Structure 1
Amino acid sequence: MIRKALVFIFIFSAVLFSQAQDVEQIFKDRIEIYFSFEAESIDQVNKLSRMISIDHVNEDMLTHAYANKKDFSHFLETGIKYTLLQHPGTLHNPRMLDKVDVKNITSWDFYPTYDAYIDMMYQFEADYPDLCDVYSIGTTNNGREILVARITDNVGQMEGDPEFLYTSSMHGDETTGYVLMLRLIDYLLTGYGDNPRITNMVDEIDIYINPLANPDGSYYGGNSSIYGAIRGNANGVDLNRNYPDPEDGPHPDGYAWQTETKHFMAFAEQHNFVMSANFHGGTEVLNYPWDTWAHLTADNVWWVTVCREYADTVHVNAPSGYMDGYNNGITNGYQWYSISGGRQDYMNYFQQTREVTLEISEVKLLPASQLPAHWNYNYRSLLNYLEQCLYGVRGRITDSATGEALEAEVYVLEHEQDSSWVYSDPAAGNYHRPIFTGFYDIRYSKSGYYSQTFDNVHVQNWETVVIDVELVDAFSDVSEYDQEAFQIYPNPVSGNYLKIKAEKEMGMISIYSLAGELSYQQEAGSRNAFVDVSMLASGTYVVKVEIDGKQLEQKLIKL
């Protein structure tokens, strides 16, 4: 028996040594790999997606994935046979331009070098100073800028228009959206004043466009070309698995928040985005939430309608075979395959932003000659989706006595779930609630004020209902449950995690039952904290937060 045990240990050790050698050899001159394997079931794919970065899965369970060295080492422990594939970022050498005059582009059949990209963005601002403001939301590990173009009729003011965000290429080797977003910026700016539809959009929507969310990944091979682009960032981390997740917590991928993730989270906190879209490549489909769990959103019918409009418009303007897979161009994320730590779920759950994932090209690093065609397939749909943030119920919430803007909750009774309700903007008081056609009872509330409920509000698709609300101060001592000091999102909470944010640094966070029993405690040490409430039973609790040496309280409802 001892001899057999020793033989087993020797063989097992030899296997581990062989695997270690394989990993070292495979990653000798690369930071990430692309590979395929045959999965046994979608359940197995979903489990593996917590370990490696699943790219896509076909009907026969042939699965394509990415992995860095650490993650691939874990994958090898499963014993699943795999095939190494050529990395999508090296399939061809695209046409690059290092000097671009945006006013004289005759055909958008090129990719800009990194320096040309920076110049293009700031040229938009210089050419249209009254309509366009370009700025950086942060610098990457390798010193590249994450730029955003804000387009609105008055860039010097915040007018209370709905805020909308388009962002592309957080996977650095998925670059079709990169150029399409540059072209969309140009299309909006050049069309303003001449095209009535474009003019109305720019007048009525505060539009933000980030063409390149992961410049270190896209220009991994150097600033002169996107040849050699990788999926991850400079650290080889998949940014679309690096966000806080409503089911799996702050760090579902096991990595610290990357520089790019922190910049985008801060950017989202500074704004009140009504809708957004996140561009990817590798297939052609609109992926709507949720990605992390099986149950549907409160607004699933609205999501299907909006995505259906996008895909159906594409079908009119694209050749047969483009964006017609899955459910004829659209899919629920979880029904495709589940991921954890995706930005789409983070934006929907923790930021109350309606974000969709747009996969717009079968080829990740699309040949530059095909970029104009993909623009023609998609630009009408891009405008349709952008306009959706104008529809539904909107208005302004103010203090009835002072007229000052209030940050209040807008809650559709007998409808909301999983953080689907919205809040008015604290600076302007404006709110925007996209919703499918129907009759709804809507409650407007804020701590320290009397709530108001509007019954039987009739909403129709592609139309707008305006309800301005003046809330009356209840003249009560609200310091005990002070929503000005800190805020809980979502509340009520149905997921495993919630977010607490404050204007000042928080100390100890404690959650008590109504009987006074301590249920949970953690040290925050920052102005934002993600709190695990998975162990709490359904019911009402008191959340106590230390701020400036004082202990402030709010009620929390766990569904």
Structure 2
Amino acid sequence: MLRKTILISILLSFTAFAIAQDIDNIFKDRSEVYFTFDVNTDTDLQSLSRAISIDNVTPEMQVFAYANKKGFSEFMKRGISYTILQHPGTLHHPRMLDVAGVKNIDSWDFYPTYDAYVDMMYQFEADFPELCDVFSIGTTNEGRELLVARITDNVSQSEGEPEFLYTSTMHGDETTGYVLMLRYIDYLLNGYGTNARLTNLVDEIDIYINPLANPDGAYHGGNSSIYGAIRFNAMGVDLNRNYPDPEDGPHPDGNAWQTETVHFMNFAEEHNFVMSANLHGGTEVCNYPWDTWSTLAADNNWWVYVCREYADTVHANAPGGYMTGYNNGITNGYQWYSIAGGRQDYMNYFHQCREFTLEISDVKLIPASQLPAHWNYNYRSFLNYMEQCLFGVRGKITDSASGDAITAEVFVLNHESDSSWVYSSLPGGNYHRLLFESFYSIRYSKSGYYSQTFDNVIVHDREATVQDVELVKIMFDIDEPLAETFSIYPNPVSGNYLKLKANQSVGDITIYSMNGELCHKSNTGGTNTAFVDVSKLNAGTYIIKIVLDGKLVQQKMIRH
């Protein structure tokens, strides 16, 4: 028995040594590996995805994935047969243009160097100062800028228009959307005043476009070329697995929030985006919520409608076979394969922003000569999707006595779930509730005010139903000042986490049942924002309490 135990120990030690040698050889000259393996339906992809970054799962259950050295070591312990593939960022040397080369372009069949990209962005602002403002939301680990172009008719003002965001290439080797978004900026600006549809979109929407969300990954091989682009950021982390998740918590990938993640989270906090889209590559499909769980979104009919519109418009302008996989170009994220920590679910759940993931090219780094064709396939759909934020039910919510704009909840009765309701925003009190064509009952409410409900509100596809609301203040409501000092959402909460945000730093957070039993206690560490784990709470009504400025303040919270 002793000999058998010693033999097993020797074999295990030898196996571990062999794996370590293989890992060292594989990662001798690379920071991440791209590989494929086959699974059966019983394989725990959820568990695997905590170690590696799953990129695609085919109907035949072939998995394509990326991993850094640590993640691949964990994968190899599973004993699964795999094949290492050529990295998508090294398939060919793309045509690059430098700062001088992009000055007088007459076609969009190139990729810019990093310096040329920065120059192009700020040139948009210089050429159209009344329509375009270019700014950085932060700097990456390697010192590159996360640039955003804001486009609207009065760029120096806030007019209460719906805010819309396009962002691309958070996976650094998925570069088709990068150039298409640069061209989209150019198209909107140069078409303003001459193209009626473009003029209306710029007049009515506050548009934000971030062409490159992971510049360190895209220019991993150096600022002069995107050859050698990688999926992860400079720290070896998949940014699209790094966001707080409604089911798996604030750090579902086990990593700290990356520099890019923090900048984008702060950017989202500073705005009230009604809609957004996150452009990727590696397949061709419109991927709509949810990614993290099987439950369909409350607005699933609307999601299918807008994604169907996107794909059908593409089909009318692209050769046969483009964006025709899955359900003819669209898919529910979870039904494709589940991920945790994706930005799509983060924006939908924690910011009530309708974001979907748009995969626009089977090849991640397409030859530059194919970029104009992909633009022609997609630009009409870019417009259609962005235009959707003008439809549904919209209006202003004000105080009936003063006429001042207020923030209030807009809740569709017998419809909402999983943080699907929205809020009006300041300074104008505007709200935008995107809905599929039907009849709805909508409740408008705010702490300290009498709520109002409007029945039989009619919504037609691609039309706006305007419903302005005046809420009447409840006099002598002593609870109102306390309720305004912090917010929790979603409330009711059906996921495992809720977000708490206060107007100053928060210490202890406690949650009590209605009979006074302490059910939860945690500490934020002095921040003013926290993701609170409510997974162990039974369905019911609770009181959540925090201490602000030496005073105990509280709100009711409902757990579904």
Task: Provide the TM-score with structure 2 as the length reference.
Answer: 0.98
1:24 aligned partner: 24
Indicate the larger mover: 424-433 or 216-225. Answer: 424-433
Q: Which residue of 2 aligns with 1:144?
A: 144
C-alpha distance in 1 between matches for 2:492 and 2:41: 35
Alpha carbons 1:277, 1:355 under 8 Å: kept = yes
* 1:477 partner SS: coil
SS at match of 1:257: coil
**Equivalent residue, structure 1, for 2:260:** 260
- 2:73 maps to which residue? 73
Amino acid at match of 1:382: F
Which residue identity lines up with residue 151 of structure 1 in the other structure? I
Q: How many angstroms does 1:480 deviate by?
A: 6.6
Q: CA RMSD in A?
A: 1.1
Identify the residue that residue 536 of structure 2 maps to in structure 1. Answer: 535
Structure 1 counterpart of 2:553: 552
For residue 159 of structure 1, what is the amino acid of its counterpart?
E
> Is the CA contact 2:409–2:422 (under 8 Å) kept in the aligned structure 1?
yes
Distance 1:175 1:51 in 2: 25
Please report how far the alpha carbon of residue 320 of structure 1 lies from its aligned counterpart in structure 2 after TM superposition.
Answer: 0.4
Cα distance in 2, alignment partners of residues 42 and 51 from structure 1: 18
Q: Confirm whether residue 90 of structure 1 aligns to residue 90 of structure 2.
A: yes
In the TM superposition, 1:407-418 aligns within 5 A as 407-418=407-418
Unaligned 5+ segments in structure 1 are: none
Residue 365, structure 1, aligned to residue 365, structure 2: yes
- 1:326 aligned counterpart, secondary structure: helix
Matched residue, 2:518: 518
Work out the CA distance in 2 between the residues paired with 1:202 and 1:266.
25
Partner secondary structure for residue 506 of structure 1: coil
Structure 1 stretch displaced more, 74-83 or 117-126 = 74-83
Question: Does structure 1 retain, via aligned residues, the 8 Å contact 2:483–2:553?
Answer: no
Of the structure 1 ranges 95-104 and 513-522, higher mean CA displacement relative to structure 2 is found in: 95-104
Larger displacement relative to structure 2 (95-104 or 259-268): 95-104
Which residue is 2:320 aligned to?
320
Distance 2:36 2:379 in 1: 33
Aligned-partner Cα distance in 1 for 2:215–2:413: 43
Letter in structure 1 aligned against 2:186? D
Q: How does 1:75-474 map to 2 (within 5 A)?
A: 75-99=75-99, 104-474=104-474
Q: Following TM superposition, by how much is the alpha carbon of 1:22 offset from its aligned partner in structure 2, in angstroms?
A: 1.4
Secondary structure of the residue that 2:303 maps to in structure 1?
helix
The residue matched to 1:190 in structure 2 has which SS? helix
Shift, 1:454, TM fit:
0.7
Deviation of the 1:478 alpha carbon: 4.2
Distance 2:355 2:46 in 1: 22
Q: Partners of 2:126 and 2:139 in 1: how far apart?
A: 22
Counterpart residue number, 1:505? 505
SS of 2:435's partner is: coil
State whether residues 102 and 116 of structure 2, in contact with CA within 8 Å, keep that contact through their aligned partners in structure 1: no
Unaligned runs of 5+ in 2: none
Structure 1 contact 480–554 (Cα < 8 Å) conserved:
no
SS of residue matched to 1:290: coil
Q: 1:327 is paired with a residue of what secondary structure?
A: helix
Q: CA shift at 1:99, angstroms?
A: 2.1
* Cα shift readout 1:120-151 (whole Å, capped 9, x = no counterpart): 00000000000000000000000000000000
- Structure 1's consecutive aligned runs of 4 or more residues displaced over 4 angstroms after TM superposition are 100-103
Contact 1:424 1:431 in 2 (8 A): yes
**Structure 1's 555 and 444: CA in aligned 2 closer, same or farther, altered over 3 A?**
same
Q: Distance in 2 between matches of 1:40 and 1:4?
A: 33
1:6-27, CA deviations, whole angstroms, 9 ceiling, x for partnerless residues? 1111101111111112112211
Secondary structure at the aligned position of 2:326 is classed as coil
CA distance in 2, matches of 1:536, 1:481: 27
Separation in 1 of the partners of 2:154 and 2:74?
A: 52
Deviation at 1:545, TM superposition (A): 1.1
Task: Name whichever of 151-160 and 397-406 sits farther off.
Answer: 397-406
User: CA deviation digits over 1:156-188, x for unaligned, max 9?
Assistant: 111000000000000000000000000000000
State the alpha-carbon separation in 2 of the partners of residues 441 and 335 from structure 1: 30
Bigger Cα displacement from structure 2, 91-100 vs 150-159? 91-100
Structure 1 residue 101: deviation in Å?
7.1
Q: Percentage identity across aligned positions?
A: 71
Amino acid at match of 1:547: L
**1:309 is matched by which residue type in structure 2?**
E
Once the two structures are TM-superposed, the CA of residue 42 in structure 1 deviates from its matched residue by 6.8
Task: Measure the CA separation in 2 of the matches of 1:142 and 1:103.
Answer: 26
| Aligned counterparts of 2:63 and 2:102: Cα–Cα separation in 1 | 40
| Partner deviation per Cα, 1:417-462 (whole Å, 9 max, x = no partner) | 0000001113221000110011100000011111111111010110
State the AA in 2 paired with 1:146: L
SS of the residue aligned with 1:516? coil
Tell me by how many angstroms 1:48 deviates. 1.6
User: 2:550 corresponds to which letter in structure 1?
Assistant: G
2:170–2:213 Cα contact (<8 Å) kept: yes
Alignment deviations for residues 295-337 of structure 1 (CA, whole Å, 9 cap, x no partner)? 1000000000000000000000000010000000000000000
- Check 1:480–1:454 CA distance in 2 against 1; reply closer, same or farther (3 A cut): closer
Taking a change above 3 Å as real, the CA distance of residues 103 and 204 of structure 1, as seen in their structure-2 partners, is farther
TM-score, structure 1 as length reference? 0.99
Whole-Å separation in 1 of the counterparts to 2:404 and 2:103: 43
Residue identity matched to 2:9: I
Contact 1:34 1:86 in 2 (8 A): yes
Q: Which amino acid aligns with 2:385?
A: Y
Secondary structure at 2:133's aligned position in 1? strand
> How big is the shift at 1:46?
3.3
